[in-house]
Structure 1
Amino acid sequence: MTPLGEYLIQKSVKKADVSRKTGISTSRLTELTRNEKTKLKAEEAYLIALAIDVEPGEILEKVFANLKLKKVKNEKR
């Protein structure tokens, strides 16, 4: 299960409803919710957010919570 899949379950969202509202196929949604290697496109994240009535940033924070900036040494100017 991907972070997107877990998020949609938490929100009690049905993939069929999201598919109808967004035009994203149910097979694509299944891939996005089950396969960790499947990349979520920005357009898809935005459409899903609109379909489930949440801010797009909320989906990004949940789905990409593991992304962090690299620590770098202070740069001299």
Structure 2
Amino acid sequence: MSEEFDFADKGNKIFNETETKGLNPGLIVLLVVVGLLLVFLVGNYVLYTYAQKTLPPRKKKPVSKKKMKKERLKQGVSAPGE
């Protein structure tokens, strides 16, 4: 009967020795993924602000004469030449 207790004690010692020493692998993966996502978002923000400062504004498409005439008629202003 004393042999059973000795075996149980050895089992507990083995269990105690196998406690986690260091970081959880899942936590490491989570930190890497969050870090990459953060770098991606910050990099995009930096590039966006740089582009806003350096690139010229887009040119608007020219409005056709037909569209201008329609808009003036909607506002009640007569088109020139009529």
TM-score (norm 1): 0.20
Structure ranking higher on relative contact order (CA contacts 8 Å, 6+ apart): 1
Whichever of the two has the greater Rg, that structure is 2
Scaled by the length of structure 2, what TM-score is found? 0.19
Which structure's residues are more often helix, by fraction? 2
